[in-house]
Structure 1
Amino acid sequence: TVCISLVALAVGFGGVAHAAEGQGAAGQNAPAKPTRKVPTISEQVFKKLGEAQALIDAKQYNQAINALLGIVDARKYNTNEKGQIHNMLGFAYYSKEDYVGAIKHYKEVAAMKDGVPEGLETTTLYTLAQLSFIAERYQDALNFMQQWIRIAQNPGHDPHIFMGQVYYQMKDYKNAIIQVEKGVEVARKRGLTIKEQWIALLNFLYYESENWPKVVSTAQELVMYWPKSMYWMRLAGIYGQINKEQEQLWTMQAAHAGKMLEKSGDYTNLAGLLMQAEVPYKAAKVMKEGLDKKVIDRNEKTLQSYGQALQLAGDVQPAIKVFEEAAAISADGKIYERLANLYLDDDKHDKCVTAADNALKRGGLRKTAAVYSVRGMCLYNQDKLSAASSSFVSCANEARRTSDQTHIRICQQWITFIERDSERDRVLKQQGAQ
C-alpha cells in the first residue's frame, strides 16, 4: 500500500502566502478582470488587526484570538471588515494548529463572497481546501477546491494534483487518476518540472486499477528519471506479475549492474531468476556477492540456494562445502540427504555413510528409502557387504511401506547381488584354503 509518506503531498499547506502566490502564477497569461469594489476598512479596525497580527507574530496566539473575538461582534461592521477579522482569526487558529477553529472562521470569510476582495476570497477557498484535507474532511476539501477553480484565473496543475490526492485518500482511484493525469498534462504543457511523487502516485493508482500498460510505463518513467532501488525492484516485480519473466530478468540484471541491489530479497530474487533461466553460474556469483557483503543472512535456506547453484554450475567441491555449512544448522535431514549423494558421486564413501546416517537421524526426508539405498551403495563400495545388505533391506522395507515400487525393485536387486557376491567370495575362500 502506498501511504502518504511515500506519495508525499505535492501541494503543501502554506496558508495565505502560498495560495496567493499560486493564484498569481496561474493567472499570468489570463485576461485582466475588473477589480471588485468592496467597502473600505475603517482606521479603527485596521489598527485592531495590526495589534492582533503583532500578537500572532510573537506567537501569543490565544491573546490574539481573544482580542479578535472581543471585537468581532462588538459593532456592526461592513462585509470587508468582518471578513478581514475572521481571516485573521482563521490564521491565528491555524498558527496554533487548531484546524477545526481555523476552518470555522475561514468559512465565515468565504461566505462574504463579493463583500471581500477577490484575492481574499480565492485565497480563503484554497486554504479551506487544504485545511479540510488536513482535518480529513475530504469531500469538503474537494468542494472548496472546485469553487476555487471556478473563480481562479487560468488555474495551473496544483489544484488537479491536490484533488487527485484527496480522491486517493477517499479510495476513489478512478477520479484520482483523472485529476492527477490532468495536473501532469497541464504541467507538461507549461514546461514545468514533473515531480517524482506525482508519477509515483499515478503508478500506485494504475496498479490498483490493474491498468498494466500504464503501470509499466509509469514504473519505467520512475526508473528513468529517479533511478532508486525501490523503483527498479518495483518494475521488476511488475514484469513478474504480468508474466514477462525475460523483462523481469533484464530489469534485475540492469539494477545489479547499476549497484541498485540493496536488500537480501533483491539478491535472492535475481539469483532465482537466473536459475530459472538456466544460468546457475551467474546465480551462484550473485548469491556469493550478497553473502560476502553480509546483505544475505547465512541461514539454511540461503546456503541451500547457493549450494544448488554451485552444484548445477558444476562446481561440486564448493557446493559440498556450502551444503556442509547448511546441514549443520538444518533442523531436518534433507541437506544431509543431498550431501550423501554428492559424497557418493565424489567417491567419499566414509562421509557418504555419515551424511546418510545424519539424514536418517534428523528425518523429514523426501524419500527415506532413497537414503537407505545411497547408504547401502557407499557401504558396498567400502566392501562392507553385511552392513550394505542390511541397509538395502531397510530400503526395501521402507519402500514397501510407502508403496515405492521403484525402490522396492532397486533395493531387492542389490540384496540379491550382494548375496551372490558374498557367496562367490565364500566359495573363492574355500577353494583358496584347499
Structure 2
Amino acid sequence: MRKSVSQLIIAALLGSVVYGLPAVTPVSVAQAQEDTQERQTRRTPALRAKVYEQLARAQSLADEDKTQEAIEALDSVKDRADSMNSYELAMMYNFYGFIFYNVEKYDQAIAAFEQVVEQQPIPETFELSTLFSLAQLHMMQGNYDKTLTFLERWEVLNKGEIPAKNYLIKAQAMYQMKDYERASRFINDAVEMVEAEDKVPEENWFVLQRAVYYELKQPEKVRDVLVKMVRHYNQPQYWVQLAGMYGELGEEKKQLAILEAAYQQDYISSSADIFNLAQLYYYHQAPVKGARLMEQAMQDGTLEKNLRNLKFLANCWSLAKENEKAIPAMLAAAELSSDGELDAQLGQLYLNMEQWDKAIAAAQRSLDKGELRNPGMSHLVMGMAYFNKQRFNDALNQLAKAEEYDSSRRMAQQWGRYVQSEKVSYERLQEEFSS
C-alpha cells in the first residue's frame, strides 16, 4: 500500500513497526527550518529560503501522489548541488529517499538515505533518525550485517541510554543470521529493560525470544516465555504450545492441566489437539473423559470416524471397563481394519461378557483376516467359548490349535486338561441319566 510523505511522518509518530514495513521518519522542510538551536550547537549550516521553497514543492507533489513530478523537482535542485551546503544536500537526499520508499523502490530509498548521513555537518537529530531508518530498511531487505552497522553508528552518536527497541532489532538480525547466542543476549536485554519498568513487552518480542530459545534447544526457557505469553496475551496457540513444552519436559500432569484449561476456554479446536488431549486423559487414568471427548468430537465432525479414532475410542471405554460402550466402537473399527487384531479383541470382550456365540464369531473373523500378533489367543477364546456351550470336542480342537503357539501353549494345556476332565464328568452324568 502506498503512503504519502505526510502519512509516513504520522506513522513515525505512532511508533516503529517491528515486523513488516518500518515506520521510517522523514524530516520535513518545515522541521528543518526549526533546527536553529541545534545548528548553533553543532555549527550546522542553515537551509536557505530558495532551497527550502524547492524542497517544499517536491514534498507537496509527493503528497499529491505525483511521484514523477516530485522526482523531477528534486532533480532540478540536484543540478545545483555544487552551490548547496551539507544540510541542504542532506535534506534533498532525504526526500529522494522518502519518495522512493513511498513507491516501494527500497534499494533506491536506501541509497538515498545513505547519502543523507554522508553529508556533514547536519543536525544530530536528523542524522540519528536517518541512521535508525536505514537500520530498519536494511532489516526489511534482509541486509542484516548492514542493519547492525547502522544501529551501531546510531548508538555511537546517541548521548542517552540505548533503548530496548535497538536491542530488539539487533536480536532480530542475529536470529536471521543464525547467531542464536548473541540473539539471545540482545532479546533478553530488550525484554528485561521493559519489564524493569513494570511494563509488558510487545507480543512479537516474546515470539522472538521463544524462537531463539527453541533454536538453542533450551526447552525450560521456552516454557518460561510461553508462561508469560499465556498470562499477558492469552492466545489459544500459546496454551497449546505451553502444554506441548510441558510434555517435552516430562511434566505430563502440567501438560494435561494446561491442555484441559485450554479446552474449557474453547481454545482446543483442531483434530490433532483434541486427540492429544484424549490420549492424555487415557494415560492419566481418566479414560471416561477421553472417550467422551472423542465421541463429542466425532459427533460435531472435528474428528473423523476413521480406524485410528474408533480404535482409540474403544480402548478408552475398555480401560474404563465399559464393555457395552467399547463394543460398538470396536466393531466399527474392525470393519475398517484389514487385519484381525480388533476382531481378536472383540472375541475377548464377548468372552468376558459371557456372549459365547459372539465370542466365537469374532475370534473366527480374526483368524480369517489373519496378520495376528498372537493367533493362539483367538483359538484359546474359541476353546473357552465352546467349553461354556458344552461343545467339548470343538473346545478341545481349538485348544489343541492354541497349543501350537508358544504364547498360548501353557494356558491351552491347562484348559485342555480341565476341559477333558469336565468332558468325562459330563459324559458319565449323561450315561447315568440315560440308564
Tell whether the structures are fold-level matches, with TM greater than 0.5: yes
Identity over aligned pairs, percent: 28
Distance in 1 between residues matched to 2:60 and 2:23, nearest whole Å:
19
Matching residue within 107, 123, 127 for 1:117: 123
Q: Deviations over 1:330-369 (max 9, x none)?
A: 2322111111100011111221122112212222322011
Q: CA deviation at 1:136?
A: 0.5
8 Å Cα contact 1:10-1:162 kept in structure 2? no
Matching residue within 153, 159, 178 for 2:185: 178
Trace 1:16-27 onto structure 2 (pairs within 5 A).
16=25
Distance change in 2, residues 1:410/1:191 (3 Å): closer
8 Å Cα contact 2:138-2:147 kept in structure 1? yes
Trace 1:237-252 onto structure 2 (pairs within 5 A).
237-252=244-259
How high is the TM-score relative to the length of structure 1?
A: 0.85
1:312 and 2:319 matched: yes
- Aligned counterpart, 1:374: 381
Distance in 1 between residues matched to 2:389 and 2:398, nearest whole Å:
13
Matching residue within 252, 264, 267 for 2:271: 264
8 Å Cα contact 1:396-1:407 kept in structure 2? yes
Q: CA deviation at 1:429?
A: 5.9
- Aligned counterpart, 2:364: 357
1:291 and 2:298 matched: yes
Larger deviation, residues 258-267 vs 360-369: 258-267
Distance change in 2, residues 1:65/1:344 (3 Å): same
Distance change in 2, residues 1:319/1:433 (3 Å): closer
Q: CA deviation at 1:101?
A: 0.7
1:333 and 2:334 matched: no
1:15 and 2:24 matched: yes
Distance in 1 between residues matched to 2:48 and 2:175, nearest whole Å:
45
- Aligned counterpart, 2:396: 389
The runs of 5 or more residues in structure 2 that have no matched partner are 1-16, 29-37
Distance in 1 between residues matched to 2:39 and 2:177, nearest whole Å:
36
1:276 and 2:277 matched: no
- Aligned counterpart, 1:4: none
- Aligned counterpart, 1:229: 236
- Aligned counterpart, 1:65: 71
Distance in 2 between residues matched to 1:284 and 1:152, nearest whole Å:
63
8 Å Cα contact 2:399-2:416 kept in structure 1? yes
Distance in 2 between residues matched to 1:140 and 1:64, nearest whole Å:
29
The runs of 5 or more residues in structure 1 that have no matched partner are 1-7, 20-31
Larger deviation, residues 338-347 vs 352-361: 352-361
- Aligned counterpart, 1:204: 211
Larger deviation, residues 383-392 vs 228-237: 383-392
RMSD of aligned alpha carbons: 2.8
- Aligned counterpart, 1:137: 143
Q: Which amino acid in 2 is paired with 1:204?
A: A
Distance in 2 between residues matched to 1:310 and 1:75, nearest whole Å:
85
Aligned residues between the structures: 408
Q: Deviations over 1:269-328 (max 9, x none)?
A: 222223222232333333334333332222211222222121121211011122112212
Distance in 2 between residues matched to 1:159 and 1:122, nearest whole Å:
12
Q: Deviations over 1:51-102 (max 9, x none)?
A: 3223322323234334434542444122112111111111111111111111
- Aligned counterpart, 1:147: 153
8 Å Cα contact 2:26-2:98 kept in structure 1? no
- Aligned counterpart, 1:165: 172
How high is the TM-score relative to the length of structure 2?
A: 0.85
8 Å Cα contact 1:10-1:161 kept in structure 2? no
8 Å Cα contact 2:214-2:222 kept in structure 1? yes
* SS state at 2:301 partner: coil
The structure whose RCO (Cα within 8 Å, separation 6+) is larger is 1
Q: Which amino acid in 2 is paired with 1:58?
A: E
* SS state at 1:85 partner: helix
Larger deviation, residues 364-373 vs 386-395: 386-395
8 Å Cα contact 2:20-2:140 kept in structure 1? no
- Aligned counterpart, 1:408: 409
Trace 1:49-128 onto structure 2 (pairs within 5 A).
49-76=55-82, 77-114=84-121, 116-128=122-134
Q: Which amino acid in 1 is paired with 2:100?
A: Y
Q: Deviations over 1:157-196 (max 9, x none)?
A: 2222122111111121222122222222332344544212
Q: Which amino acid in 2 is paired with 1:150?
A: V
8 Å Cα contact 1:16-1:127 kept in structure 2? yes
Distance change in 2, residues 1:312/1:189 (3 Å): closer
Q: CA deviation at 1:103?
A: 0.9
Distance in 1 between residues matched to 2:197 and 2:332, nearest whole Å:
61
- Aligned counterpart, 1:342: 349
